A and B are shown apart, each in its own frame.
Chain A
Amino acid sequence: MKVVVHVVLKPGVLDVQGKAVEAALHGLGWPGVADVRVGRTIEFDLPAADKAAAEAEARAMCEKLLANTVIESYRIDAE
């Protein structure tokens, strides 16, 4: 099973990288761009019986290592 985990700073946590990228995009001629968030993608293969099982394992990995839930939220895609 291919699993992709997306980790981003939670809403309300200042994303200074996102702010810098947003300012750069404005400068390049996209003045309407707003709320840029820079995150991290982690991809891996996982032996799992089905999608639900893969998601459950990936969730456990996020809680233990892949995300710091004090500041980050995560989304899991498994297929």
Chain B
Amino acid sequence: MKAAVVVFPGSNCDRDCKVAIERSTGAQVEMVWHGDTALPPGLDLIVLPGGFSYGDYLRCGAMAALSPIMAEVKAAAERGVATVGICNGFQVLCEVGLLPGALLRNAGLKYVCKAVDLDIVNGQTRFTAAYGQQRQARMTVGNGEGNFFADEATLDRLEGEGHVVFRYRDNPNGSARDIAGIVNGQGNVLGLMPHPDRAVEAELGSADGAMLFQSALASA
């Protein structure tokens, strides 16, 4: 099993992601620089990590979406490679058009950093299969612009087609319909604001994030 973590200037959860994936799945993880023009061959999982790519200039994720490597990530995702965007990575996936919607400034205007309890709304995705009968997960959020927005028709479609994967039990940022994470129509691209990479060992307060990486790589 092989995974890649993309490193943008300003990413700050890239190494956390590498360690989290290695420890929870045993997969080999390669770091890929944003300026690279090719991904390593034979990838089973691509992760866009959290952080403040390009200092959040213009809009969160907007500049990263234009990085050279993103053309390759987009092509790989369209070929069906499992792709996960966490926090800033979710913002990048929306900006690049792999996921619908956008992330607005938090409704309370504050940066929110805390543990959140999530409902696993769809346990049948390739990112949630390992949760089995478990229908809740605890992870942490750390974001100032995590307020998921899409128009009503898009939200209805996301809910109707089972593309809402995670929902906040106590919405920390004003996200539409309490949405914390969504998948694309093909089911291979997941974006979520909470950090599974910060929840892979009991010592961190929760190990619920590990199953997300295990699911993603088991389905490869």
Contact = CB atoms under 8 A, between A and B. Distances in A.
Interface of A: 9, 13-14, 16-17, 20, 65-66, 68, 70-71
Contacts of A66: 58
B109 interface: yes
With most chain A CB atoms within 10 A of its CB, the pick from B58, B101, B107, B150 is B58
A24 B40 CA distance: 52
Contacts of A14: 104, 107, 174
B99 to A, nearest CB: 11
Given A13-B149, A14-B174, A70-B150, A20 B109 contact: yes
5 contacts: A9-B104, A13-B104, A14-B107, A16-B108, A70-B101
B102 A16 contact: no
Contacts of A70: 94, 100-102, 149-151
B58 A65 contact: yes
B105 interface: yes
A23 B150 CA distance: 26
With most chain B CB atoms within 10 A of its CB, the pick from A13, A66, A68 is A68
Contact of B104 (A20, A65, A71): A71
Interface of B: 58-59, 62, 66, 94-95, 100-102, 104-109, 147, 149-151, 174
Nearest to A67: B59
Given A13-B104, A14-B104, A16-B107, A68 B62 contact: yes
Q: Which 6 A-B pairs have the closest CB atoms?
A: A70-B102, A71-B102, A16-B105, A16-B109, A68-B102, A68-B59
A20 to B, nearest CB: 6
Q: Tell me the interface secondary structure of chain B in the complex.
A: loop
Contacts of A71: 102, 104, 149
B109 A65 contact: no
A17 B105 contact: yes
Nearest to A9: B104
A10 to B, nearest CB: 9
A17 B107 CA distance: 9
B95 A16 contact: no
A33 to B, nearest CB: 18
Contacts of B94: 70
Given A68-B62, A70-B94, 13 more contacts: A14-B104, A16-B104, A16-B107, A16-B174, A20-B109, A65-B62, A65-B66, A68-B59, A70-B101, A70-B149, A70-B150, A70-B151, A71-B104
